[in-house]
């Protein structure tokens, strides 16, 4: 199985503590954060990784090489300019050979049931399956709603504090969707998913998962992940 890891962002919110490298390469003990993500993927049978890289992307390639050291196959899709999430996926898509593939944010560690997502996508013939997660307050993120296994609302703004489900940033999508993404800078979350959802011609669905989740986009969460690794709360 293949996965595209989105590692091309600038990581400006983490610059105060990680200034010399791309955010997903921030060190946790003696390994970059992204190695934890890669090892978690390998544990679930995802052994072909395409790194979508931009800012200081050569640092990623210098560290991971061809992937042999970790027992995986690695390739790289470089962005000359910032392309947004969907643009980066399209750029990396030329290296995708599987009919369906995973997409993940490289600065997020999320322990999910990958086999469950694959099985549901195949049984329901979904164009894209998303992983949602429960949070106590959706107003900060925008609500994503499943009715049964179908996605019915995405990035929906709410007023006031209320619990619910939000996008967890893990996708399993058909390669054919790459043709739907226009050239240039395009957002998956703000442009393509809302378009596919409102158009109704694409089958979007998902699961809700309560596994360990962290996004190291801000210093507090970066230090929390370091602490969780030291305590043994995260193992790969």
DSSP 182: P
Q: How many CB atoms sit inside 10 A of residue 94's CB? A: 11
- 76 forms beta bridges with 51
Distance separating alpha carbons of residues 140 and 166, to the nearest angstrom: 10
DSSP of 33-47, one letter per residue? HHHHHHHHHHHTT--
Buried b (16+ CB within 10 A) or exposed e, 52-69: bbbbbbebbeeebeebee
| 157 is a catalytic site residue | yes
Q: What's the rounded Cα separation, in Å, for the pair 55 and 83?
A: 12
Determine how many CB atoms are found less than 10 A away from the CB of residue 192. Answer: 23
Sign of the C-alpha dihedral computed for residues 42, 10, 97 and 186 taken in this order: positive
Which residue is catalytic, options 157, 174, 195, 202? 157
**In 72-113, alpha helices (H):** 84-93
Which residues participate in catalysis according to the annotation? Answer: 157
């Amino acid at each position: 199985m293949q996965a595209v890891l989105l590692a091309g962002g600038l990581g400006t919110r983490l610059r105060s503590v990680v200034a010399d490298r791309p955010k997903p390469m921030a060190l946790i003990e003696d390994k970059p954060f992204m190695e934890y993500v890669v090892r978690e993927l390998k544990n679930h049978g995802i052994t072909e990784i395409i790194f979508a890289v931009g800012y200081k992307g050569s640092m990623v390639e210098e560290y991971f090489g061809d992937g042999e050291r970790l027992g995986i196959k690695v390739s790289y899709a470089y962005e000359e300019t910032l392309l947004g999430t969907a643009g980066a996926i399209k750029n990396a898509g030329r290296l995708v050979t599987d009919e369906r593939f995973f997409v993940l944010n490289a600065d997020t560690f999320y322990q999910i049931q990958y086999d469950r997502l694959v099985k549901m996508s195949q049984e329901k013939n979904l164009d894209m399956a998303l992983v949602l997660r429960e949070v106590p307050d959706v107003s900060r993120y925008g609500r994503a709603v499943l009715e049964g296994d179908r996605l019915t609302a995405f990035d929906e703004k709410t007023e006031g504090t209320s619990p619910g489900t939000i996008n967890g940033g893990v996708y399993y999508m058909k390669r054919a969707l790459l043709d739907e993404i226009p050239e240039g800078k395009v957002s998956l979350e703000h442009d393509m998913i809302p378009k596919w959802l409102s158009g109704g011609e694409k089958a979007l669905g998902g699961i809700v998962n309560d596994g360990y989740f962290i996004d190291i986009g801000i210093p507090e969460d970066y230090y929390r992940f370091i602490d969780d690794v030291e305590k043994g709360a995260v193992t790969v």
